[in-house]
C-alpha cells in the first residue's frame, strides 16, 4: 500500500462545487426588496448544513433559530419570538466553537438590527413589510430608477433614439452616464446567476452614439411659477430640466464660469470629452432654462434671503467643491496641490506642465485615480499613488486602478501619510509615509489599517497631489439661517425640503456628502417632483414609448462583452477619450444577454414597468 496518494477531484465533489458556485451567483444577484426574514432563514439553513454538530450552540442553537424564524413566517410568532431570536443568536455568536455557528448567528443579528421593523411586522400581522416591491434588481439599484430593461430592449430592436427618450424620462443625462456612471445597476444583475452582469453602461454608450441628436420633449403649459436653482452641476441641471418640462420658469445660478459641476471640474476629458458634455448641457438648456454663470449666491445682493423674495421656490445644490487637508507636517510646502484645484483647472482647459516631475498622489478613490492618470498625461516622469489600505480595499473602480497601472503609474498600498519634506526654499522634495499592516474589519466592511513595526519610507518627489475627499462650503447659507450639520452638510429631509424654511430645498452632495453623478441626478429628480408639489401642482412625467415584445432568451452562458480601449502607451500622452464605443455587433451580443426581468419572474406582475412618476 502506498504511503500517500495524489488527490483527484471526485465526480461527487465536482458536482457539489458546481452547486456551491450556483448558490454564490444567486446570492450575488439577490435584489433589494426580498423578505429579510425569509432570506435570513435560507442563509441559516445553508449555514446549518455546514455544521459538524460537535458543539451544542451550533448543533442545537441553529435548529432553534430556524424554528423561531419559521414561526414568524407561518404567522405563529409574536414580539417574544423576536426577542428570543435575538437572545439566542447572541449566545450562539458568543459561545460557538468555530466560525460556522458564529457567523450564522452574527448574520441573523445583523438582519435583526437592519430590519427590526420587518421582523416585528411579521410578529404582529404575519405579513412582510417589504412585500417584494422591487423585483427588478437593475432598476432597484439605479438611484434614478431608470427603466434599464426597457432601453436595452429598444437598443436591441434597433431603436436607439427611443432608448434615449426613455432614459430621459428619469435621467436627463444619458450621455454623461454613458461615459462616467459607476453603474450600480450591474451590482445585482440577475444575469449573474448564469454568467456575469450585463454591461449596462456600455449599451447606453452605444445608444447615445447611434442615436445622435435626439430632440427634447415639449414642455407643459407655463405655470408662471419661478424657481431658482443654486448650482449648475448634475443635481441642479436635473432639477431644472424636470421643473421646466413641468411648465415652471427656472433660473440656474452657477459660481464657476461653466456649467457641469463635478462632471466638468472633477472628471478629466479622457473619461468624458468636454465637447460631449457641452452638447448635452446645451440640449438641456434649449428647453428654455436661463443660466447665470460666474455668480456667487450668498454674497451681497444675491443673498438667499433676496432670492426667496424673487422666486417661488429655491433649490440649493452647490455640491462639494472644497478640498480636505492631510493635516501633516509640510502640507503648506510649494508643490502640494489639492485634487480639487488640479481637476478644476483641467476642467477649464488649464493643463499644468509636469514634465520631468516626480508625483505622489495620496488617496484611493476615483478622484485619486483621476489625478494619477492625469499626472501621467501631464508629462510626469514618475507617478506613485500612495494609499493607506490594500489595493483591493480601494473605493476606486477596479478598471480605473488597472488602467492607471497599465499607463505606467505605481500604486503603493499600505502607505499612510506621515510628513512632507521641503527644501530651504519651501519646495517639496520628498513624501514620507508610515508603513501599515491590515487589521480588523471595521463598520464599513473593510479591514482597517494600523501602523506596522517598520521604519518610515521616504519617497523623493516634486509634487504631492492630495485626493482624500471633498468638503462643503455652506457658511454663507448657514449665516442666513439654513440649518447645517458637521462638515457643512445642509440638513434636509427625504423629500429634499429644508425643515423650517418653506419653499427652500437642498439636494445632492451638499445634503448627503460627496457621491456619484447618478446619485446627484436622482436627488435633482426628487427635488423637482417635490418642488412641483409644493407649488400646488402634480405634473407627471409619462413613459409613453411603446416597448418591444420580449423574446424567450437563450439562457446558455455567454461571455460579457467589454468595450475596447485605446492602447495604454497611446492614450497616456493625451486627454482624448480613452474608451471606444461598442460596434453594432457587440451591442447586439450584449443586449441579447439581458434576461428582461421586467417581463419574466416577479417583473411579470409586480413593479415591472412604472408608466409615470
Instruction: Return d(Cα 105, Cα 394) in angstroms, integer.
Output: 29
pLDDT digits (tens, 9 = 90+) for 171-229: 999 999 999 999 999 988 989 888 899 999 999 999 999 999 999 999 999 999 999 99
Q: Report the CATH number at residue 303.
A: 3.50.50.60
pLDDT digits (tens, 9 = 90+) for 512-562: 888 899 999 999 999 999 999 999 999 999 988 999 988 776 678 899 999
The pLDDT of residue 280? 97
Mean pLDDT across 314-320: 92
The pLDDT of residue 130? 57
| Number of structural domains found in the chain | 4
Instruction: Return d(Cα 24, Cα 507) in angstroms, integer.
Output: 37
pLDDT over threshold 80, residue 2? no
Mean pLDDT value across the chain: 90
Instruction: Return d(Cα 508, Cα 262) in angstroms, integer.
Output: 12
Residues 506, 373, single domain; the answer is no
pLDDT over threshold 70, residue 413? yes
pLDDT digits (tens, 9 = 90+) for 189-198: 989 888 899 9
The pLDDT of residue 135? 62
- Residue 164 domain-assigned (yes or no): yes
Residues 230, 312, single domain; the answer is yes
Residue 398 C-alpha cell reads as 477596479
Per mean pLDDT, which range of 68-77, 393-402, 425-434 is the poorest?
68-77
pLDDT digits (tens, 9 = 90+) for 468-524: 988 888 888 888 888 888 778 888 887 788 988 999 999 998 888 888 999 999 999
The domain boundary, picked from 470, 491, 506, lies at: 470
Burial, 424: exposed, middle or buried (Cβ in 10 Å; 0-12, 13-18, 19+)? exposed
Q: Which residues, at least 6 apart from 219, have a Cβ–Cβ distance to it below 8 Å?
A: 244, 245, 246, 247, 287, 288
- Radius of gyration (C-alpha) of the chain in whole angstroms: 27
pLDDT over threshold 90, residue 438? yes
Per mean pLDDT, which range of 224-228, 409-413, 494-498, 591-595 is the poorest?
494-498
Residues 459, 477, single domain; the answer is no
Q: Report the CATH number at residue 43.
A: 1.20.1440.230
The pLDDT of residue 30? 66
Residues, the chain, total?
Answer: 613
Residues 233, 309, single domain; the answer is yes
Residues 54, 120, single domain; the answer is yes
- Residue 142 domain-assigned (yes or no): yes
Could you tell me which of 517, 489, 511, 417 has the C-alpha nearest to residue 458?
417
The pLDDT of residue 186? 92
Per mean pLDDT, which range of 345-359, 374-388, 587-601 is the poorest?
587-601
The domain boundary, picked from 513, 534, 555, lies at: 534
Residues 440, 336, single domain; the answer is yes
The pLDDT of residue 37? 87
| Helices and strands of the chain, counted as H and E runs | 24, 16
Mean pLDDT across 135-162: 92
Higher pLDDT, 211 or 305: 211
- Residue 262 domain-assigned (yes or no): yes
Per mean pLDDT, which range of 14-28, 135-149, 387-401, 531-545 is the poorest?
14-28
pLDDT digits (tens, 9 = 90+) for 360-387: 999 999 999 999 999 999 999 999 999 9
Per mean pLDDT, which range of 123-127, 236-240, 377-381 is the poorest?
123-127
Residues 369, 451, single domain; the answer is yes
Q: Report the CATH number at residue 602.
A: 1.10.1060
Mean pLDDT across 403-431: 96
pLDDT over threshold 70, residue 608? no
Tell me the pLDDT band of 601, cut-offs 50, 70 and 90.
low
pLDDT over threshold 80, residue 14? no
The pLDDT of residue 483? 86
The pLDDT of residue 12? 65
- Residue 392 domain-assigned (yes or no): yes
Q: Which residues, at least 6 apart from 128, have a Cβ–Cβ distance to it below 8 Å?
A: 35, 37, 38, 118, 121, 122
- Residue 19 domain-assigned (yes or no): no
Q: Please, are residues 92 and 62 in contact by the beta-carbon 8 Å criterion?
A: yes
- Residue 70 domain-assigned (yes or no): yes
Residues 519, 557, single domain; the answer is no
Instruction: Return d(Cα 442, Cα 448) in angstroms, integer.
Output: 6
Q: Which residues, at least 6 apart from 100, have a Cβ–Cβ distance to it below 8 Å?
A: 47, 50, 51, 52, 58
pLDDT over threshold 90, residue 419? yes
Instruction: Return d(Cα 259, Cα 237) in angstroms, integer.
Output: 9
The pLDDT of residue 246? 97
3-class SS letters over 368-421: HHHHHHHHHHCCCCEEEEECCCCHHHCCCCHHHHHHHHHCCCEEECCEEEEEEE
Mean pLDDT across 320-333: 90
The pLDDT of residue 553? 65
The domain boundary, picked from 125, 157, 185, lies at: 125
CB atoms within 10 A of CB 68: 22
The pLDDT of residue 7? 66
Instruction: Return d(Cα 33, Cα 602) in angstroms, integer.
Output: 11
pLDDT over threshold 60, residue 427? yes
The pLDDT of residue 74? 87
Query: 292 has which bridge partners?
Result: 253
- Residue 8 domain-assigned (yes or no): no
Residues 328, 453, single domain; the answer is yes
Per mean pLDDT, which range of 74-83, 98-107, 189-198, 479-488 is the poorest?
479-488
Tell me the pLDDT band of 338, cut-offs 50, 70 and 90.
very high
Q: DSSP H helical segments within 215-350, as ranges?
A: 234-245, 262-265, 274-285, 304-310, 339-347
Instruction: Return d(Cα 287, Cα 161) in angstroms, integer.
Output: 18
Residues 159, 77, single domain; the answer is no
- Residue 183 domain-assigned (yes or no): yes
Tell me the pLDDT band of 607, cut-offs 50, 70 and 90.
very low
Residues 331, 316, single domain; the answer is no
Mean pLDDT across 260-270: 93
Residues 261, 374, single domain; the answer is no
* Dihedral class, residue 261 (left if φ above 0, else alpha if ψ from -120 to 50, else beta): left
Domain containing residue 87 = 34-125
pLDDT digits (tens, 9 = 90+) for 281-300: 999 999 999 999 999 887 76
The pLDDT of residue 29? 66
Amino acid at each position: 500500500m502506498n504511503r500517500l496518494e495524489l488527490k483527484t477531484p471526485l465526480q461527487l465533489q465536482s458536482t457539489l462545487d458546481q452547486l456551491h458556485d450556483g448558490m454564490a451567483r444567486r446570492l450575488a444577484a439577490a435584489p433589494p426588496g426580498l423578505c429579510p426574514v425569509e432570506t435570513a432563514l435560507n442563509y441559516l439553513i445553508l449555514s446549518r448544513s455546514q455544521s459538524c454538530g460537535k458543539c451544542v450552540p451550533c448543533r442545537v442553537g441553529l435548529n432553534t433559530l430556524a424554528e423561531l424564524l419559521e414561526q414568524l413566517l407561518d404567522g405563529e410568532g409574536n414580539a417574544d419570538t423576536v426577542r428570543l431570536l435575538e437572545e439566542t443568536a447572541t449566545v450562539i455568536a458568543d459561545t460557538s466553537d468555530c466560525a460556522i455557528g458564529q457567523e450564522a448567528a452574527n448574520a441573523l443579528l445583523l438582519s435583526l438590527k437592519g430590519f427590526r421593523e420587518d421582523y416585528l411586522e411579521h410578529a404582529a400581522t404575519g405579513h412582510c413589510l417589504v412585500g417584494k416591491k422591487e423585483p427588478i434588481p437593475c432598476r432597484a439599484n439605479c438611484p434614478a430608477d431608470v427603466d434599464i430593461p426597457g432601453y436595452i430592449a429598444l437598443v436591441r430592436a434597433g431603436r436607439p433614439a427611443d432608448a434615449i427618450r426613455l432614459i430621459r424620462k428619469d435621467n436627463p443625462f444619458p450621455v454623461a452616464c454613458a461615459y462616467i456612471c459607476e453603474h450600480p445597476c450591474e451590482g445585482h444583475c440577475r444575469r449573474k446567476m448564469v454568467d456575469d452582469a450585463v454591461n449596462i453602461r456600455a449599451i447606453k454608450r452605444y445608444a447615445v452614439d447611434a442615436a445622435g441628436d435626439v430632440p427634447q420633449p415639449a414642455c407643459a403649459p407655463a405655470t408662471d411659477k419661478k424657481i431658482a436653482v443654486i448650482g449648475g452641476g448634475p443635481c441642479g441641471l436635473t432639477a431644472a430640466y424636470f421643473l421646466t418640462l413641468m411648465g415652471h420658469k427656472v433660473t440656474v445660478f452657477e459660481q464657476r464660469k461653466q456649467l457641469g459641476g463635478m462632471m466638468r471640474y472633477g472628471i478629466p476629458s479622457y473619461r468624458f470629452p468636454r465637447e460631449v458634455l457641452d452638447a448635452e448641457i446645451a440640449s438641456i438648456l434649449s428647453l428654455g432654462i436661463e443660466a447665470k454663470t460666474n455668480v456667487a449666491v450668498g454674497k451681497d445682493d444675491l443673498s438667499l434671503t433676496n432670492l426667496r423674495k424673487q422666486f417661488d421656490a429655491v433649490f440649493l445644490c452647490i455640491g462639494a467643491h472644497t478640498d480636505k487637508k492631510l493635516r501633516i507636517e509640510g502640507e503648506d510646502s510649494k508643490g502640494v496641490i489639492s485634487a480639487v484645484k488640479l481637476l478644476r483647472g483641467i476642467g477649464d482647459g488649464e493643463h499644468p506642465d509636469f514634465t520631468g516631475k516626480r508625483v505622489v498622489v495620496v488617496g484611493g478613490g476615483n478622484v485619486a485615480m483621476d489625478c494619477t492618470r492625469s499626472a501621467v498625461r501631464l508629462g510626469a516622469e514618475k507617478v506613485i499613488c500612495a494609499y493607506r489600505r490594500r489595493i483591493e480595499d480601494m473605493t476606486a473602480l477596479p478598471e480605473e486602478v488597472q488602467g492607471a497601472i497599465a499607463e505606467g503609474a505605481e500604486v503603493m498600498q499600505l502607505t499612510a501619510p506621515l510628513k512632507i519634506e521641503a527644501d530651504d526654499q519651501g519646495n517639496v522634495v520628498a513624501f514620507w509615509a508610515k508603513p501599515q499592516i491590515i487589521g480588523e474589519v471595521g463598520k464599513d466592511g473593510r479591514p482597517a489599517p494600523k501602523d506596522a513595526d517598520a521604519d518610515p519610507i521616504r519617497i523623493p518627489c516634486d509634487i504631492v497631489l492630495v485626493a482624500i475627499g471633498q468638503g462643503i462650503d455652506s457658511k454663507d447659507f448657514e449665516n442666513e439661517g439654513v440649518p447645517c450639520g458637521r462638515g457643512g452638510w445642509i440638513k434636509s429631509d427625504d423629500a429634499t425640503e429644508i425643515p423650517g424654511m418653506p419653499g427652500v430645498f437642498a439636494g445632492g452632495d451638499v445634503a448627503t456628502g460627496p457621491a456619484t453623478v447618478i446619485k446627484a441626478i436622482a436627488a435633482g429628480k426628487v427635488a423637482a417632483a417635490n418642488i412641483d408639489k409644493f407649488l400646488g401642482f402634480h405634473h407627471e412625467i409619462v413613459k409613453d414609448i411603446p416597448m418591444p415584445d420580449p423574446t424567450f432568451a437563450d439562457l446558455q452562458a455567454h461571455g460579457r462583452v467589454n468595450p475596447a480601449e485605446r492602447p495604454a502607451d497611446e492614450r497616456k500622452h493625451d486627454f482624448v477619450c480613452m474608451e471606444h464605443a461598442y460596434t453594432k455587433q457587440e451591442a447586439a451580443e450584449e443586449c441579447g444577454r439581458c434576461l428582461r426581468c421586467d417581463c419574466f419572474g416577479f417583473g411579470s406582475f409586480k413593479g415591472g414597468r412604472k408608466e409615470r412618476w
